[in-house]
Chains A and B, each alone.
Chain A
Amino acid sequence: MKPLLEISDLHVRFRTHSPLSAMMNGIQDPFVDAVNGVSLHIGEGETYGLVGESGSGKTTLARSILGLVQPQQGSIRYAGTELIGMPAAQMKRFRSNVGAMFQDPVGSLSPRMTIGSLLAEPFKIHGLSDRDLGHEATRLLDMVGLNRDFSSRYPHQLSGGQARRVGVARALALNPKLIIADEPTAGLDVSVQGEILNLLGKLQAELGISILVITHNLNVVRHITDRMGIMYFGRVLEQGPTSAIFHQPSHPYTLALLSANPEPDPDAEIDRLELHGEVPSLFNRPGGCEFHPRCPFSDDTCKSAFPDITELDNAHSFRCHHPLQRA
Chain B
Amino acid sequence: MSATEISAQATQMPATWQNVWRALKRVLREPLGALGFGLVMFVLVSAIGADFFAPFEPNKIDIRAKLQPPSAEHYLGTDQLGRDIYSRVLVGGRIALKVSLVSIGIALVIGLTLGLIAGYGPRWLDNSLMLLFDSVRSFPTVMFALAVVTLFGPSLTTVMIVVIVTQIPIYGRMVRSQTQALRDAEFILAERAMGAGFFRIIAMHILPNVVGPLLILASMDIPFVITIEAGLSFLGMGVRPPTPSWGTILNDGYSYIYNTPWPVIAGGIPVILTTLGFTFLGESLRDVFDPKLRKEI
- Chain A residues in contact with chain B, CB under 8 A? 63, 66-68, 91-92, 95-96, 98, 100, 102-104, 107-114, 121-122, 125-126, 154-156, 167, 170
Q: Evaluate contact between A95 and B190: CB separation under 8 angstroms.
A: no
A100 to B194, CA, bound (A): 8
A95 to B189, CA, bound (A): 13
Using Cβ atoms and an 8 Å threshold, which residues of chain B touch A104? 186
Which residue from chain A places its CB closest to the CB of B190 in the assembled complex? A108
Q: Evaluate contact between A107 and B193: CB separation under 8 angstroms.
A: no
* In-complex Cβ contact of A68 among B12, B185, B192 (8 A): B192
A98 to B204, CA, bound (A): 22
A122 to B14, CA, bound (A): 21
Enumerate 9 A-B pairs (CB-CB under 8 Å) in ascending A order.
A66-B193, A91-B195, A92-B197, A100-B190, A107-B187, A108-B189, A110-B187, A111-B187, A125-B200
Which residue from chain B places its CB closest to the CB of A91 in the assembled complex? B195
How many chain B residues touch A (CB < 8 A): the figure is 21
- Chain B residues in contact with chain A, CB under 8 A? 8-9, 12, 14, 185-187, 189-197, 200, 204-205, 208-209
Using Cβ atoms and an 8 Å threshold, which residues of chain A touch B196? 121, 125
Using Cβ atoms and an 8 Å threshold, which residues of chain B touch A121? 191, 194, 196
A66 to B194, CA, bound (A): 9
Which residue from chain A places its CB closest to the CB of B208 in the assembled complex? A112
A125 to B12, CA, bound (A): 24
A156 to B9, CA, bound (A): 7
* In-complex Cβ contact of A110 among B8, B195, B197, B205 (8 A): B205
Using Cβ atoms and an 8 Å threshold, which residues of chain B touch A125? 191, 194-197, 200
* In-complex Cβ contact of B195 among A92, A109, A112, A114 (8 A): A92
Top 5 closest pairs, chain A to chain B, by CB: A95-B195, A100-B193, A108-B186, A102-B186, A112-B208
Q: Evaluate contact between B193 and A95: CB separation under 8 angstroms.
A: yes
A154 to B208, CA, bound (A): 14
Nearest CB of A to B277, in Å: 30
Q: 14 new A-B pairs (CB below 8 Å) besides A107-B186, A114-B14?
A: A68-B189, A68-B192, A68-B193, A98-B193, A102-B186, A107-B187, A108-B187, A110-B187, A110-B191, A112-B209, A121-B191, A122-B194, A156-B8, A156-B9
Nearest CB of B to A66, in Å: 4
Q: Evaluate contact between A112 and B14: CB separation under 8 angstroms.
A: yes
* In-complex Cβ contact of A126 among B190, B195, B204 (8 A): B195
Nearest CB of B to A187, in Å: 12
Interface centre among A108, A114, A154, by most chain B C-beta atoms within 10 angstroms, is A108
A114 to B209, CA, bound (A): 14
Q: Evaluate contact between B12 and A112: CB separation under 8 angstroms.
A: yes
A158 to B130, CA, bound (A): 38
Q: Evaluate contact between A96 and B195: CB separation under 8 angstroms.
A: yes
Using Cβ atoms and an 8 Å threshold, which residues of chain B touch A96? 195
Using Cβ atoms and an 8 Å threshold, which residues of chain A touch B204? 110, 113
Which residue from chain B places its CB closest to the CB of A112 in the assembled complex? B208
A96 to B185, CA, bound (A): 21
Q: Evaluate contact between B185 and A107: CB separation under 8 angstroms.
A: yes
Using Cβ atoms and an 8 Å threshold, which residues of chain A touch B205? 110
Q: Evaluate contact between B194 and A156: CB separation under 8 angstroms.
A: no
Q: Evaluate contact between B187 and A109: CB separation under 8 angstroms.
A: yes
Using Cβ atoms and an 8 Å threshold, which residues of chain A touch B185? 107
Nearest CB of A to B20, in Å: 14
A104 to B189, CA, bound (A): 11
A113 to B12, CA, bound (A): 10
A158 to B105, CA, bound (A): 36
Q: Evaluate contact between A111 and B209: CB separation under 8 angstroms.
A: yes
A63 to B190, CA, bound (A): 10
A170 to B189, CA, bound (A): 13
Which residue from chain A places its CB closest to the CB of B207 in the assembled complex? A112
Nearest CB of A to B205, in Å: 5
Using Cβ atoms and an 8 Å threshold, which residues of chain B touch A155? 12
Nearest CB of A to B2, in Å: 15
Which residue from chain A places its CB closest to the CB of B200 in the assembled complex? A125
Interface centre among B9, B186, B204, B209, by most chain A C-beta atoms within 10 angstroms, is B186
Using Cβ atoms and an 8 Å threshold, which residues of chain B touch A126? 195
Nearest CB of B to A158, in Å: 12
Using Cβ atoms and an 8 Å threshold, which residues of chain A touch B191? 110, 121, 125
Using Cβ atoms and an 8 Å threshold, which residues of chain B touch A112? 12, 14, 208-209
Nearest CB of B to A207, in Å: 18
Nearest CB of A to B290, in Å: 13
A208 to B192, CA, bound (A): 25
A113 to B200, CA, bound (A): 14
Using Cβ atoms and an 8 Å threshold, which residues of chain B touch A100? 190, 193-194
Nearest CB of B to A174, in Å: 8
Which residue from chain B places its CB closest to the CB of A117 in the assembled complex? B204
Using Cβ atoms and an 8 Å threshold, which residues of chain B touch A167? 190
Nearest CB of A to B23, in Å: 15
A69 to B192, CA, bound (A): 11
Interface centre among B14, B185, B187, B209, by most chain A C-beta atoms within 10 angstroms, is B187
Using Cβ atoms and an 8 Å threshold, which residues of chain B touch A63? 189
Q: Evaluate contact between B190 and A111: CB separation under 8 angstroms.
A: no
Which residue from chain A places its CB closest to the CB of B187 in the assembled complex? A110
Nearest CB of B to A8, in Å: 22
Q: Evaluate contact between A95 and B14: CB separation under 8 angstroms.
A: no
A122 to B190, CA, bound (A): 10
A114 to B14, CA, bound (A): 9
Using Cβ atoms and an 8 Å threshold, which residues of chain B touch A67? 193
Using Cβ atoms and an 8 Å threshold, which residues of chain A touch B200? 125
Using Cβ atoms and an 8 Å threshold, which residues of chain A touch B189? 63, 68, 102, 108
Using Cβ atoms and an 8 Å threshold, which residues of chain B touch A111? 12, 187, 209
